[in-house]
Amino acid sequence: MSSALEAVRRDFGGDIIEPGAAEYESASRSVLAAGSPVYVLRPETVADVRAGVRFAAGTGLVLSVRGGGHGFAGFGTNDGGVVIDLSRLANVQVIDDERHLVRIGGGATWGQVAAALAPHGLAISSGDTRSVGVGGLTLSGGIGWKVRKYGLALDNLAAAELVTASGEVVNASAEENQELFWAIRGGGGNFGIVTSFDFVAHPTTDVFYGRITFPATEAAAVLQGWADYLRTAPEELTSVADFANPFAGGPEAPVEIHVAFDGDNPDLAAQAIDPIRRLGTVTGDNVALVPYEDMLVDGMTPPPGIELVTRSAFVRKESVSEVLQILTEAGASGRSPFIAVHSVGGAVARVPDDATAYAYRQAELMIVTTTVGPKPVVQAARPALAAIWGRLAPHVDGAYANFLASATEEDVAAVYPGETYQRLAAVKRQYDPGNLFARNHNVLPQ
Ligand SMILES: Cc1cc2nc3c(=O)[nH]c(=O)nc-3n(C[C@H](O)[C@H](O)[C@H](O)COP(=O)(O)OP(=O)(O)OC[C@H]3O[C@@H](n4cnc5c(N)ncnc54)[C@H](O)[C@@H]3O)c2cc1C
């Protein structure tokens, strides 16, 4: 090990942080998981990433790749292994003004991207939180406030540069290494470290954004009406419904319909949003015109000892009513997790199913439950959570890797159904036959 460490110290321009170093405490953890890695490497350049990958492979230790560090399953750290933390590869540059092509470092966050693109009048279909990483979110999907108009974050990816398990640099796009390009759009971090992403951004004005709230007692009618309306709503409108928030009264918590209208025309925005206002008794409405950048929220790091169990699934049109009914009943029961229902469809569903490794394009909704609290509270909530998901199982499809706190074989099969998994495994055999990149919803090379 020591000769490998000496070699990497020679070739590596960034920091190597070991236990005992002043920065170790913060460097060892990802946002949602504590860890005790032996080395945290912070590369500054692609050459550093190559040296880091070769070093990690040589140690035989488990390797975590950290983008923004927000993964729910805690893949961004480990115990006793190596972490390659990409946070210094965060440059954001418009590389083609006419095509709105933007090159983004593999460790940038969406807040950095939004801030850098705002002066150009551009934004990328991404997520809702500033501190979330471009890497993790994009490689498994990316469902954000422009999703119905411009699709998933990965649908806006034009090319990527990766360092593979052998330390080689490869490019992936529609022209080069097409099968790898297919795989990294949905297959997560299985195939290498993405050092830069080229995205097509979209001209972006200020947007209408806010929250319209309804009493919990109207949840069933509001949610059904909301889902029905979204089938015909303009695609400029993207919406998320939250309810049963344990920090806002649990079963009594209001139903919050978050709306984002991609445009600054007040009449068009009102036409799109008013039908939602008519779904029930509005108890709050703070929809306002805001810069896109301000619509993103700051993420929170939970205090030590707090656990999060996040589960997700997709819902096709024919199951929407049944699923919303089950979730509404669960929300009213007093033993419910926090429930969020995301509208998808629109541009997501127009991309052919086999164009990328993201497997659930035909879903109308993506549902997420989050159980949060100290370990005993989370443990005590598990039977009720299992019962809810047991009821949902016949009506939902798969799971969204980005909202999944576990990574069992069942989870991996849910994220990558049959044919998708087989095709990903063939790409894995080519680019990572030794499964160096295994801290993810792992596709085995066998
Ligand atoms: C507060 C919060 C808000 C969220 N909001 C949204 C949302 O609006 N929409 C949505 O779709 N998702 C959302 N998510 C989920 C989010 O997409 C996932 O948690 C995602 O994994 C975060 O990526 P990251 O880079 O921050 O995390 P990390 O933990 O750093 O990365 C997760 C995994 O992705 C891989 N990875 C990351 N970067 C790279 C890279 N450059 N090269 C290769 N592999 C890489 C690695 O396997 C890594 O272990 C949210 C999560 C949180 C905690």
Residue 296 exposure: Cα atoms within 13 Å on the Cβ side: 26
Whether the predicted pLDDT of 209 surpasses 70: yes
Q: Is 196 in the pocket of ligand 1 (CB under 6 A)?
A: no
Residue range 30-55: mean pLDDT, rounded: 96
Query: How many angstroms separate the alpha carbon of residue 314 from the centre of ligand 1?
Result: 18
Residue range 405-434: mean pLDDT, rounded: 97
The ligand 1 atom at the shortest distance from the C-alpha of residue 197 is 41
Residue range 160-185: mean pLDDT, rounded: 98
Task: Note the pLDDT of residue 335.
Answer: 87
Per-residue model confidence as pLDDT tens digits over 287-296? 999 999 999 9
CB count within 10 Å of CB 239 equals 23
CA 241/CA 340 separation, integer angstroms: 6
| Nearest by Cα to 331 from 426, 216, 420, 200 | 216
Whether the predicted pLDDT of 387 surpasses 80: yes
Strands of 201-354, DSSP E: 202-203, 207-214, 237-243, 255-261, 284-285, 288-290, 306-315, 338-343
Structure confidence at residue 3 as a pLDDT band (50, 70, 90): confident
Residue range 264-274: mean pLDDT, rounded: 98
Q: Is 299 in the pocket of ligand 1 (CB under 6 A)?
A: yes
Task: Note the pLDDT of residue 50.
Answer: 97
Whether the predicted pLDDT of 191 surpasses 90: yes
Task: Note the pLDDT of residue 299.
Answer: 87
The ligand 1 atom at the shortest distance from the C-alpha of residue 403 is 15
Residue labelled with tokens 């024919």: 318
CB count within 10 Å of CB 329 equals 14
Task: Note the pLDDT of residue 1.
Answer: 58
Task: Note the pLDDT of residue 8.
Answer: 84
Give me the chain's average pLDDT, please: 96
CA 237/CA 148 separation, integer angstroms: 7
Per-residue model confidence as pLDDT tens digits over 333-375? 988 999 999 999 999 999 999 999 999 999 999 999 999 999 9
Task: Note the pLDDT of residue 431.
Answer: 98
Query: How many angstroms separate the alpha carbon of residue 361 from the centre of ligand 1?
Result: 19
Task: Note the pLDDT of residue 334.
Answer: 87
Whether the predicted pLDDT of 160 surpasses 90: yes
Q: Is 85 in the pocket of ligand 1 (CB under 6 A)?
A: no
Residue range 192-220: mean pLDDT, rounded: 97
Residue range 87-108: mean pLDDT, rounded: 98
Look at residue 339 and give its three-state secondary structure: strand
Pair 182, 419: CB distance under 8 Å = no
Measured over the CA atoms of residue 426, residue 429, residue 431 and residue 437, the dihedral's sign is positive
CA 156/CA 400 separation, integer angstroms: 18
Query: How many angstroms separate the alpha carbon of residue 275 from the centre of ligand 1?
Result: 33
Structure confidence at residue 6 as a pLDDT band (50, 70, 90): confident
Give residues with Cβ within 8 angstroms of 313, minimum separation 6: 366, 367, 392, 396, 397, 398, 399, 400, 414
CA 79/CA 240 separation, integer angstroms: 36
Residue range 133-148: mean pLDDT, rounded: 98
Whether the predicted pLDDT of 140 surpasses 80: yes
Instruction: Extract the tokens encoding 65.
Output: 């790749």
Q: Is 440 in the pocket of ligand 1 (CB under 6 A)?
A: yes
Task: Note the pLDDT of residue 30.
Answer: 95
Residue range 72-76: mean pLDDT, rounded: 97
Structure confidence at residue 301 as a pLDDT band (50, 70, 90): confident
Q: Is 407 in the pocket of ligand 1 (CB under 6 A)?
A: no
Query: How many angstroms separate the alpha carbon of residue 224 from the centre of ligand 1?
Result: 30
Structure confidence at residue 4 as a pLDDT band (50, 70, 90): confident
